[in-house]
Every structure is written in structure tokens, then in C-alpha cells.
């Protein structure tokens, strides 16, 4: 299947890495950022080059178009990759809604249920015919290592994909597999959103290392030094609650340690063993402060959203609730109100059968 032009929305670590990686593979890439955040593009906008290092390719990647003009960004691509923090999903949806056309596909990388918020917002804007999809994790373990340079330490294998409506799954996977080979599938976007790993690991791990993060300003290796066996036990309790919510909705999601291993992060074993044996994860430093996205994103848009889904379907999640409550104090923001809930996702009041029908067809009753 032919696919040449791709638009990447976002200007952060993974957006730069994906844009550079796909450009070096011969794809025509447009890189877009919302105008008020144009400074993230400034280091590369004049020369049009992102230097890529590491496991995802080496070289000077020439980006076809770098822009803050949304009409230009959405003019021609069939595939649009949204690669921004979850708190930016809604602003990007509002910018894109009236410029998207039927037949285009927007893929949120990763989504953490962002497709459902997008679906609601596009419906409210009167935008139809757009297929939405999300993946369960970012495709790379990567960082910007200089203003115009991205380094990829590891490539995720078997990245999971959910599509909305679910009936479009094979079409979307066929197109995306050209960009990211080896995609695996979820029954729908709810299953995919509940399979995200960042909210499982980050909030518990950061809060249990809060003193060290503040004292060292993140100068320690988060996964290697911070995720000790006792921290891993708390993380796995969050994971147990996540899987219980999924089970209530008919999904059999694998435990976090198995998911990490299948994605190629590390060896088979319990969570501590998988993380401790991971080259790519043990390269990552801790966040430099407690107001970074490992709390400000993964609490309100991850744990709080999952808890809201669980509450609607009578699944208790006390560890998630405790982490959201405690994390809200730490970040100075109410994670229950600043993120997503079932109303934001457009599924409030749907019983499990109505939810399943909506996820399959994209049509509300």
C-alpha cells in the first residue's frame, strides 16, 4: 500500500524523533506545532534539518515542511500523527477540527483514551468521516539531546493499536505498518487506552521518589535506581486495579511486566527484573522536578481518567485514588478536575453494551 506524505503534530522529544526517523526512511514529513509553542521548532526551522542519533537511524534528516500553519499541515496527508502530551490533545483537536477532511486518519501516540475525547470534540464541531486511532506507548525511547538533535535509545516492538471506529482497524493497521512495522491490535480504543504503561509506572514511581527528585533535581537513573522492588510492588497494585477495570469491560489485558517484555523493553520476569535488565529504560534520568509531565500528565489524564471509567462500572480502584489524591497535593492542582473523565470521553451513562456498540461503530445511540 502506497503511503508517502505524513504530518507529525507536535514539537517535543518523540515528535522530533519520529519526524527524523521517517524522513531518513524516505517519507515526506510535515512537522507542525501550535503557533504559541513555535519556539520548539525554532532550532530547526531555518535549515530544515533534525540530526538523528542512536538506534532509530543516524544522519541529518531533512524535514519537507516545518510550519505553524494548520491549513498547510493538514492539506495533503492521509496519515496524521499526533505526538504531544495528553494535556495537549484537546487544544490540538480544537485547532484541527475544521481543517480535517473525510478519509484522513489521526493517530495519537500514545493515546491514553485521547481518541474518545477527540471523537467527542469532532462530533461537536460537526466534523465527520475522520478515522481516529491510538497506540499504547510511544514508538521510541528517546530524547532531544540538543536543540536540533534527537537520540533514540530503543525502538518499541509490537506497539499496540486501537482504532475508532473499530471496524476500520485493518485499514489503519495496513497503512501504519508501513511506518511502524510489527503493530499488534486491541479490540478497540478503550482496551488500548487502558493498556498504556506510563500512568501505571510514572505517578507511583515519582511520588515514592519525591524527596530524591527534589534534592537531586532528577540526577539519578529513574528506572534503574528509583524502581526498587518495593516501589515495583506499589506499581503492580496500580496495575492490578487497571486490569480489573479492563476485565469489567470484557478485556483481558496482560500485566505490566509482561507488556514491558513484549514491547521489547527488557527481559522476561517480574517488573523489577524486566526494568532492571532493560538497556533503554535504565538510560533514562528521573524528571528534574515534581511538576513535570510524569505527574501532571499521567495523574489527571491517566489514573484519574481510568478511575472515572472504573467508577462508572462499579470497579473500585483505591490505590489509584490514593495516588491521585496525594499527587494532586504535590503538583498543586486537582487531578480529578484538570484531566479527563467519562464526560470528557463522551461515554457518560453508557452501560457496557452501549459502550461496546459505540466503540465498534463510532455512532451514539
CATH topology of domain 5-194: Rossmann fold (3.40.50)
Is residue 141's pLDDT more than 50? yes
The pLDDT value recorded for residue 279 is: 84
Summarised one tens digit per residue, pLDDT across range 337-365 is: 999 999 999 999 999 999 999 999 999 87
Is residue 137's pLDDT more than 70? yes
Judge whether 160 and 184 are in contact, CB under 8 Å: yes
Count other C-beta atoms under 10 Å from residue 62's C-beta. Answer: 13
**Measured distance CA(68)–CA(31) in Å, rounded:** 8
Stretch(es) of the chain classified as CATH 1.10.1040.10 = 198-361
Summarised one tens digit per residue, pLDDT across range 280-296 is: 888 889 999 999 999 99
Judge whether 202 and 330 are in contact, CB under 8 Å: no
Q: Which three cell numbers stand for residue 355?
A: 459502550
DSSP secondary structure, 304-336, as one string: HHHHHHHHHTT---HHHHHHHHHHHHHHTS-HH
- Across the chain, what does the average pLDDT equal? 95
Matching CATH number, 198-361, of 3.50.30.10, 1.10.1040.10, 3.40.50.2300, 1.10.260.40: 1.10.1040.10
Average pLDDT in the 268-289 region? Answer: 90
Average pLDDT in the 122-136 region? Answer: 97
Count other C-beta atoms under 10 Å from residue 266's C-beta. Answer: 22
Stretch(es) of the chain classified as CATH 3.40.50.720 = 5-194
Q: Which three cell numbers stand for residue 162?
A: 486501537
Average pLDDT in the 91-100 region? Answer: 97
The pLDDT value recorded for residue 282 is: 84
**Measured distance CA(182)–CA(178) in Å, rounded:** 9
Is residue 118's pLDDT more than 50? yes
The pLDDT-based confidence of 157 (bands split at 50, 70, 90) is: confident
The pLDDT-based confidence of 1 (bands split at 50, 70, 90) is: very low
Query: What are the distances in angstroms from CA 34 to CA 121, 158, 168, 342?
Result: 18, 30, 29, 27
Average pLDDT in the 54-62 region? Answer: 95
User: Quick one: residue 269, left, alpha or beta (phi over 0 = left, psi -120 to 50 = alpha)?
Assistant: left
Amino acid at each position: 500500500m502506497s503511503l508517502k506524505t505524513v504530518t507529525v503534530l507536535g514539537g517535543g522529544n518523540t515528535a522530533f524523533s519520529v519526524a527524523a526517523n521517517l524522513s531518513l526512511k524516505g517519507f515526506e514529513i510535515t512537522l507542525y506545532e501550535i503557533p504559541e509553542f513555535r519556539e520548539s521548532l525554532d532550532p530547526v526551522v531555518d535549515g530544515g534539518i533534525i540530526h538523528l542519533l542512536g538506534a532509530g537511524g543516524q544522519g541529518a534528516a531533512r524535514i519537507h515542511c516545518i510550519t505553524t500553519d494548520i491549513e498547510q499541515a493538514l492539506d495533503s496527508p492521509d496519515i496524521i500523527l499526533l505526538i504531544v502530551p495528553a494535556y495537549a490533545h484537546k487544544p490540538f483537536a480544537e485547532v484541527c477540527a475544521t481543517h480535517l477532511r473525510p478519509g484522513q486518519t489521526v493517530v495519537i501516540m500514545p493515546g491514553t483514551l485521547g481518541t474518545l475525547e477527540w471523537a467527542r470534540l469532532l462530533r461537536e464541531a460537526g466534523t465527520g468521516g475522520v478515522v481516529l486511532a491510538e497506540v499504547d506507548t510511544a514508538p521510541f525511547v528517546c530524547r532531544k539531546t540538543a536543540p536540533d538533535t534527537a537520540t533514540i535509545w530503543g525502538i518499541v516492538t509490537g506497539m499496540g493499536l486501537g482504532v475508532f471506529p473499530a471496524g476500520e482497524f485493518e485499514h489503519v493497521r495496513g497503512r501504519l505498518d508501513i511506518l511502524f512495522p510489527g503493530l499488534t491490535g486491541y479490540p478497540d480504543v478503550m482496551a488500548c487506552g487502558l493498556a498504556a504503561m506510563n500512568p501505571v509506572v510514572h505517578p507511583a514511581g515519582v511520588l515514592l521518589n519525591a524527596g530524591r527528585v527534589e534534592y537531586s533535581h532528577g540526577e539519578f537513573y529513574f528506572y534503574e535506581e528509583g524502581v526498587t522492588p518495593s516501589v515495583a510492588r506499589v506499581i503492580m497494585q496500580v496495575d492490578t486495579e487497571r486490569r480489573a477495570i479492563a476485565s469489567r469491560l470484557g478485556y483481558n489485558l496482560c500485566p505490566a511486566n509482561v507488556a514491558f517484555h513484549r514491547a521489547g523493553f527488557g527481559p522476561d520476569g517480574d517488573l523489577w527484573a524486566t526494568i532492571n535488565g532493560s538497556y533503554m529504560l535504565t538510560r533514562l534520568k528521573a524528571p528534574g522536578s515534581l511538576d513535570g509531565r510524569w505527574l501532571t500528565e499521567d495523574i489527571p489524564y491517566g489514573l484519574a481518567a481510568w478511575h472515572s471509567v472504573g467508577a462508572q462500572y462499579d470497579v473500585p480502584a483505591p490505590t489509584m485514588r490514593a495516588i491521585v489524591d496525594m499527587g494532586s497535593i504535590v503538583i498543586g492542582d486537582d487531578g480529578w478536575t484538570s484531566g479527563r473523565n467519562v464526560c470528557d470521553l463522551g461515554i457518560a451513562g453508557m452501560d457496557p453494551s452501549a459502550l461496546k456498540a459505540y466503540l465498534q461503530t463510532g455512532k451514539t445511540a
